[in-house]
Chain A
Amino acid sequence: ELKVEQNPLFLSMQEGKNYTIYCNYSTTSDRLYWYRQDPGKSLESLFVLLSNGAVKQEGRLMASLDTKARLSTLHITAAVHDLSATYFCAVLRGYALNFGKGTSLLVTP
């Protein structure tokens, strides 16, 4: 059974600060996704990481994948209020996606 663990599950941070969300998974996979969900909304794709060492950046968010350590990180640089949302990582197993429980991020002034 593939387990996907995110931490922290809740994160309150000040605007302008940096922080990292971690996503660990239990079995081999070379495909990892990050999604964002705003309250009451659907999921929006942020990044698809396809191979070991993959790094992708979009604005203040940067995601990386280390398949040997079974770890992905989502780094937030100089946070702004608009980044407040829940972030999910999802790991591919066969034809199914296994999601983490999500990290609820609140960025405060």
Chain B
Amino acid sequence: EAQVTQNPRYLITVTGKKLTVTCSQNMNHEYMSWYRQDPGLGLRQIYYSMNVEVTDKGDVPEGYKVSRKEKRNFPLILESPSPNQTSLYFCASSLTPPPYRNRGQPQHFGDGTRLSIL
């Protein structure tokens, strides 16, 4: 089954304790992205990756890191989490970066990771 898998689904942790949220897709997609969703703010893009070893900042990258060493994986790293990073996080992927060929490709979203940082 084609899917985007995030782990963990829920996490409660404390300020300053490094954490990683994993994201893996089995569709051989080139483009992957992380979003955070907050009440009243919709979804905001954190980072995206157009292919292996190619990443770039989205609208709210502060306090986050990403890496893309393999095509299928795109982990989100919080080196020193703070309470303002408490949010619902989504990973998404699409076959190609949005403006390129296969222009109609929507992004496929994972089930989300709810992070609470105390």
Contact = CB atoms under 8 A, between A and B. Distances in A.
Contacts of B45: 96-98
Interface in A79-106: 88, 90, 92, 94-102
Nearest to B45: A96
Interface string B84-118: 00000010100001110001111111111000000
B9 to A, nearest CB: 11
Contact of A99 (B42, B98, B105): B42
Chain A at the B interface: SS class: strand
Contact of B104 (A42, A50, A88, A99): A50
Given A31-B103, A45-B106, A50-B103, A95 B98 contact: yes
Nearest to B111: A42
A98 B98 contact: no
Given A31-B103, A33-B106, A42-B110, 13 more contacts: A41-B112, A45-B108, A94-B99, A95-B56, A95-B98, A95-B99, A96-B33, A96-B45, A96-B48, A96-B58, A97-B33, A97-B45, A98-B45
